[in-house]
A and B are shown apart, each in its own frame.
Chain A
Amino acid sequence: MNMHLVIFSVISAVLISCALGVVISRNIVHSALFLLFALISVAGIYLVLLTEFLAIVQLLIYGGAIVIVILFALMLTRNEEYPRIQNNKLWPIAGILSVLVLITLSVSYFQSDVIRNASTTISPAGVKSLGSSLFTTWAIPFELASLVLLVALIGAIVIARSDKGGN
């Protein structure tokens, strides 16, 4: 057994079970914690893919920011409904649909020559080349992304600020 494969399998198992925990758990705080672990496992997957930089980014932004923001929101909107979150009435259909998507996509991956004939060596991505590529080739999307963040910032302030008015 290849060492990489073992590590990969373990992380994947943790990832998928945590992900299932997110969507199945009845307690929303548990879901948020499961999400945190799932996101950390994704960082592990990135490490297996020899992408340390992105693993760090994943930990910082997803683990450090997004989950914290979610927990923050949960605290602020403390709600007695949280420990007994219900499913949609249509959840069996949702389940069937997801399984169908799962099967279709998996079959297509197995059927695809291009995917199966891919090389088996993982090439590491250097942070330096990543950086230079980000600021040269991808400069325009980068600028745009900064505007997106600006909009999100302004929007969050506009929406959440409690000022005069109201009903």
Chain B
Amino acid sequence: MLELIHFNILSVLLFSVGLYGVLARKSAILIIMAIELMLNAVNINFIAAAAFKHGGGLFTNFDGHILTIFIITIAAAEVGLALALILRIFRNKSTVNVDQFDMMKL
């Protein structure tokens, strides 16, 4: 039987992979991709909770789904903005590696 916890564990796995990506990678674009993975983990959690617990307790509507729609929207906007910035950096500096942004040390 499929249970809520299966989805939770899937989401945890995805979240951890994304977290690893954010912390371990250097390229700004890759970090943004990893953050997208984390946000997807969030969405899975939300939808699973809404789907399994719908109708019980305080769950009287589609909050989880709605939250997901909003998160997807914001994520899309965020990626657009971030990539515009990356483009700008590339034009100014010809690199997209976060650790080569080293002008601002002590």
Contact = CB atoms under 8 A, between A and B. Distances in A.
A121 B95 CA distance: 50
A134 B9 CA distance: 28
A141 B2 contact: no
A120 B14 contact: no
A159 B9 CA distance: 39
Contacts of A88: 23-26, 99
Nearest to A45: B44
Interface size class of B (residues with CB under 8 A): 35 or more
Interface in A13-42: 15-16, 19-20, 22-23, 28, 31-32, 35, 38-39, 42
Contacts of B47: 46, 49, 51, 54
Interface in B1-32: 1-10, 12-21, 23-27, 29-30, 32
Contacts, number: 244
Contacts of B52: 118-123
B3 to A, nearest CB: 6
A82 to B, nearest CB: 8
A49 B48 contact: yes
Given A16-B13, A22-B21, A95-B20, A28 B30 contact: yes
Contact of B83 (A70, A106, A137, A141): A70
Interface residues on A, range: 35 or more
A106 B12 contact: yes
Interface string B53-95: 1111000011001101110111111111101111110111011
Contacts of B13: 12, 16, 19, 102
State the main secondary structure of chain B at its contact with A. Answer: helix
Contacts of A116: 3, 5
Contact of A98 (B4, B23, B27, B90): B23
A125 B37 CA distance: 24
Given A23-B25, A70-B33, A156-B80, A15 B14 contact: yes
Lowest 5 A-B CB distances belong to which pairs?
A94-B23, A23-B21, A152-B77, A91-B24, A98-B20
Interface of A: 2, 4-5, 8, 12, 15-16, 19-20, 22-23, 28, 31-32, 35, 38-39, 42, 45-46, 48-51, 53-54, 57-58, 61-62, 65-66, 69-70, 72-74, 76-77, 79, 81, 85-88, 90-91, 93-95, 97-99, 101-102, 105-106, 109-110, 115-116, 118-125, 129-130, 133-134, 137-138, 141-142, 145, 148-149, 151-153, 155-156, 159-160, 162, 167
